[in-house]
Amino acid sequence: MSNTELAVPVMPHHAGASRFDELRGPDGMVRTHWRAFARTLTQLSPEEYERRQAAARATVQDNGVTYNVYDDRGGEARPWELDIVPFILSSADWKHIEAAVIQRATLTDLLLRDLYGPQKLLSGNVLPAHLVIGHPQFLRPLCGVAPAGGAHVHLYSADLARSPDGSWRVMASRADAPGGLGYALENRLVVSQTFPENFADMRVARLAAFFNAYRESVLGLGQSRRDRAVLMTPGPYNESYFEHVYLAHYLGLTLVQGDDLAVRGGEVFLKTLTGLERVSAIFRRVDSDFCDPLEFRGDSALGVPGLAEAVRAGGVVMANALGGGVVESPAMDAYLPAVCRALLGEELKIPDIATIWCGTEWGRKEAMARMNSSILRHAFDARPLFSRKSSARLGADLTADERARIESQLKHRGETLVMQEISPLGLAPVFEEGHFGARPVSLRVFAAWTPQGWTVMPGGLTRVAADDSIRALSMQSGASSKDAWVLSATPVDTFSLLTNGGKTLEIKRQGESAPSRAMDNLFWLGRYAERTENFVRILRAVVSRMSDEPAAALDVARRLLVPYSHASDSPIEDIADEHDLARELQIQIYSTRHSRSLQQLLSRVEQAAWSVRDRISLDTWRTIHALTLIDAPPEEDGEFEPGVARFYLDGLVRRSAALAGLAAENMTRGPNWLFLELGRRCERAHHLAWLVRQTVGQPDARETEQMRILLEIADSAMTYRSRYLNVFQLVPFIDLLLLDEHNPRSCAFQLAAIDAHLRELPRITLAQRSDVPRTLVHEMRAAIANANPARLAFCEHGMRPGVLELADTVTSGTTLLSDALAGAYFQHASRSRTGAAGY
């Protein structure tokens, strides 16, 4: 097939300035490096292409790849948007990009050395002092501090875009805590599996060697390879938390948050179950000014008190070194050509988009003259253009009042503004709504420092605008992404981080000591997951009786939905009839607004799991995602449909069982499993004791029916019938649910399991050796062992004191046990938990 016959997309005409067409040359012919892939596109029907796109989308969703989008009303995690048509670069094009990015990375590192060192650029008037001294990201406590190995920048990124003439421009650069590396890797894994033949045949350069060089260069600066290396994340509410989890796993690092670390004697330590472990290197994904609340931002809850002092003492390698944000401001772009000549003695190989700082008379005049055709933004605003809270405004969009305010600001405080040109971005092919089209794109390229020099990742993160405007290029504005393929002129390197280079591995039966905070979250994941199943089983028992046994449904609801009754505005005990009950169930099952609704509880399960995403398997995560996902939920004020609700609740019971089964059969018997199980067992013992108290703590004329329902809720009906047929009596009922250690749904079984798990926990610190948790469990087990079911069934003054006392012993004991575990093992990561008391 000739080039002119390839049925590949033709870029649509765009009004205004022309755009560079990545796919076709000026003569309309498909560019040489695109031809092999374009030929594949001609062989795929739209249906087949849509099938591959859907498969890639499903993989992204199943893998939990998200990008958290925030606005003033809260946050929303949305699936990562990936277009499977790669962005393809020729080897010649890449050679130019690689050289330019190495130059810029070298320049940025030298610039930071000067700004935090002799400051010759300021004294020589190469840079205006205001751009450095006045920058909020210039961290004065670090002046004169030389980072480990002398490298300020270990990872650098630059956002590139095509000009209409095909030349590249730098739109922004990052040297503080560059993001996007993990998303680029995930894009590569998905797209290479979507087009495996093309990926192999087209000699696409691999990425693994770059990641290895990045990791090894940082670790090599540490004092000892035996010490911990960690990746520091702002936490699960950060927009790029998935990436942090993914990178930590791929690079073999421990994922930590600020409160996982402590500084002692100028060194950094990780708080673990077995005490403090020294940290030699921190791969940082937290902005510099948030890293130490003692010396930088006092309102930061993300950092480590004393971290700056540890950096000054040389006690830890920071990658990147603190303070890099000062060179990321758009105002700095206006002076980079002069800085490059001063530090490297050469011109920039790829220039920035035209930028004018308005702190000079000439700059103010130019801004006034070009306002209608340019972007205005704050001089120190390094946020992506038009992202959330970005100060960028198109001059042409300003109202008369806004323009007047800008002109006044230019006159009186011009140093706070920059003007940047609007440059039409190059277009790349995309597949959307069943056909091919074109969208503006930019390419984020990464470089890593090594002792041998800089190395550039052959590829990058390609962002695809949601529409034709420059505003739509921000990920927070709905942009999607592509994989970037760099075609190699030579055979590609097949190195992989997933192998060990032929080295013989030492046999290990146990991993590194677990961070306390992670175990805290796993404990509460177990509690929340069990609490969800308990709630669902009660709701199902009520819903299943609404049609045939409305009186029984009302009775169960009034007795057993008390802990959740604050979901609506009226107490559960005040429900008068089936209509009121239906309204209450609609709220409790489907409402996302009420604090004790099922959906809120499911949200806590997902949040707890997301916090330990690096410690649960992909299958477990997918099961949790399926558990918490509800498609097209009924309206909160809609009519309650028992059949629909029963179907939904049945599905939740099955998914809860699947989650428990995965934990029981697939998790290694280490700290992760132990604390997940401890949380689940504590919650189940607490819940069972409370259920029995509510059901038979006081005699009732409907007691037989209530016992039958509770056996169903406790998933013990089959066991009871196998022993006692259908004869329901109180003594065997109490024995089965409270005292029988052979019943996995009894209180006795939970306490025995907790006792066994506690024996497996470390007893190193003073709090752990005090054995408070085991003492509490032994007291509860003794109370159950000494209980006589016949005496528990004894009724006195209209109540059963034995049942009430034993149930209260277990409920109060498990509450104290939870607190004791926190004191002994989680004290480094205390958290305020919603609904911690349970009942």
pLDDT at 574 > cutoff 70: no
Q: What total of structural domains would you count in the chain?
A: 4
Q: Which residue has the higher pLDDT, 274 or 31?
A: 31
Label residue 521 by pLDDT band (50, 70, 90). very high
Condensed to tens digits (0 to 9), the pLDDT of residues 638-649 reads 889 999 999 999
Q: Looking at the domain assignment, is residue 82 inside a domain?
A: no
Residue with tokens 């707890």: 608
Would you list the DSSP string of 611-622?
A: HTGGGS-HHHHH
Residue with tokens 């010759």: 120
- 460 shares its domain with 571: no
Condensed to tens digits (0 to 9), the pLDDT of residues 621-660 reads 889 988 988 877 888 888 899 999 999 999 999 999 999 9
- 474 shares its domain with 411: no
Q: How many CA atoms lie within 13 A of 294 on its CB side?
A: 10
Q: Looking at the domain assignment, is residue 715 inside a domain?
A: yes
Label residue 176 by pLDDT band (50, 70, 90). very high
* Domain encompassing residue 414: 354-420
Q: What is the mean pLDDT of residues 173-196?
A: 94
d(CA 682, CA 810): 10
- 724 shares its domain with 803: yes
Q: Residue 565: what pLDDT?
A: 61
Q: What is the mean pLDDT of residues 188-192?
A: 93
- 226 shares its domain with 296: yes
- 540 shares its domain with 587: yes
What contacts 799, CB < 8 A, 6 or more positions away? 697, 698, 699
Condensed to tens digits (0 to 9), the pLDDT of residues 645-702 reads 999 999 999 999 999 999 999 888 899 999 999 999 999 999 999 999 999 999 888 8
Condensed to tens digits (0 to 9), the pLDDT of residues 433-462 reads 667 788 899 999 999 999 999 999 999 999
Read off the tokens for 431.
């597949």
What backbone torsions phi and psi does residue 290 show, to the nearest 5 degrees? -95, 0
3-class SS at 352? Answer: strand
Window from 65-69, 95-99, 215-219, 711-715 with minimum mean pLDDT: 65-69
Q: What is the mean pLDDT of residues 573-599?
A: 85
Q: Looking at the domain assignment, is residue 11 inside a domain?
A: no
3-class SS at 798? Answer: coil
- 242 shares its domain with 363: no
Residue with tokens 């919650």: 683
Q: What is the mean pLDDT of residues 49-67?
A: 83
Percentage of the chain with pLDDT > 70?
90
d(CA 189, CA 182): 11
Q: Looking at the domain assignment, is residue 553 inside a domain?
A: yes
Q: What is the mean pLDDT of residues 412-441?
A: 85
The single-letter DSSP state of residue 204 is: B
Q: Residue 636: what pLDDT?
A: 80
Q: Which of 308, 212, 319 is nearest to 268 (CA)?
A: 308
Q: Looking at the domain assignment, is residue 432 inside a domain?
A: yes
d(CA 681, CA 750): 5
Q: Residue 453: what pLDDT?
A: 94
Cα distance from N-terminal residue to C-terminal residue, the chain: 72
d(CA 440, CA 747): 61
Q: How far is CA 280 from the centre of its chain?
A: 25
Label residue 831 by pLDDT band (50, 70, 90). very low
Q: Residue 196: what pLDDT?
A: 92
Q: Which residue has the higher pLDDT, 424 or 738?
A: 738
Q: Looking at the domain assignment, is residue 724 inside a domain?
A: yes
Q: Which residue has the higher pLDDT, 244 or 506?
A: 244
Q: What is the mean pLDDT of residues 155-168?
A: 94
Measured over the CA atoms of residue 515, residue 516, residue 520 and residue 522, the dihedral's sign is: positive
pLDDT at 470 > cutoff 70: no
Report the b/e string of 178-216 with b at 16+ CB within 10 A.
bbbbbbbbbbbebbbebbeebbeebbbbbbbbbbbbbbe
- 401 shares its domain with 303: no
Q: Residue 473: what pLDDT?
A: 61
Q: Are 826 and 519 in contact (CB under 8 A)?
A: yes
pLDDT at 11 > cutoff 70: no
Window from 91-95, 105-109, 509-513, 524-528 with minimum mean pLDDT: 509-513
- 138 shares its domain with 179: yes
Read off the tokens for 510.
């146990």
Condensed to tens digits (0 to 9), the pLDDT of residues 100-156 reads 999 999 999 999 999 999 999 999 999 999 999 999 999 999 999 999 888 999 999
Q: Which helix (H) or strand (E) holds 75?
A: strand 74-79
Alpha helices (runs of H) in 334-415, residue ranges in sequence order: 336-344, 361-370, 400-413
- 694 shares its domain with 561: no
Q: Which residue has the higher pLDDT, 550 or 510?
A: 550
Q: Where are the beta strands (DSSP E) in 350-460?
A: 355-357, 374-378, 393-394, 417-421, 427-432, 435-450, 453-456
Q: Residue 716: what pLDDT?
A: 95
Window from 65-74, 159-168, 252-261, 540-549 with minimum mean pLDDT: 65-74
Q: Looking at the domain assignment, is residue 265 inside a domain?
A: yes
Q: What is the mean pLDDT of residues 297-312?
A: 93
What backbone torsions phi and psi does residue 356 show, to the nearest 5 degrees? -125, 125
Label residue 580 by pLDDT band (50, 70, 90). confident
Q: Which residue has the higher pLDDT, 402 or 563?
A: 402
- 697 shares its domain with 661: no
- 170 shares its domain with 131: yes
Q: Are 650 and 679 in contact (CB under 8 A)?
A: no
Percentage of the chain with pLDDT > 90?
61
Q: What is the mean pLDDT of residues 743-750?
A: 96
Q: Which residue has the higher pLDDT, 510 or 402?
A: 402
Q: Residue 671: what pLDDT?
A: 92
Window from 10-19, 260-269, 768-777 with minimum mean pLDDT: 10-19
pLDDT at 72 > cutoff 60: no
Read off the tokens for 173.
């650069």
Q: How many CA atoms lie within 13 A of 629 on its CB side?
A: 13
The single-letter DSSP state of residue 67 is: E
- 409 shares its domain with 439: no
Q: What is the mean pLDDT of residues 84-96?
A: 95
d(CA 205, CA 189): 13
pLDDT at 503 > cutoff 80: no
Mean of pLDDT over the chain: 88
Q: How many residues does the chain have?
A: 839
Q: Looking at the domain assignment, is residue 498 inside a domain?
A: no
Q: Residue 85: what pLDDT?
A: 93
| Boundary residue ending a domain (420, 440, 455) | 420
Read off the tokens for 309.
């002092």
Measured over the CA atoms of residue 184, residue 186, residue 189 and residue 193, the dihedral's sign is: negative
Label residue 74 by pLDDT band (50, 70, 90). very low
Window from 12-16, 491-495, 767-771, 777-781 with minimum mean pLDDT: 12-16
Q: Which of 603, 512, 516 is nearest to 831 (CA)?
A: 516
Q: Is 349 exposed, middle or buried (0-12, 13-18, 19+ CB in 10 A)?
A: middle
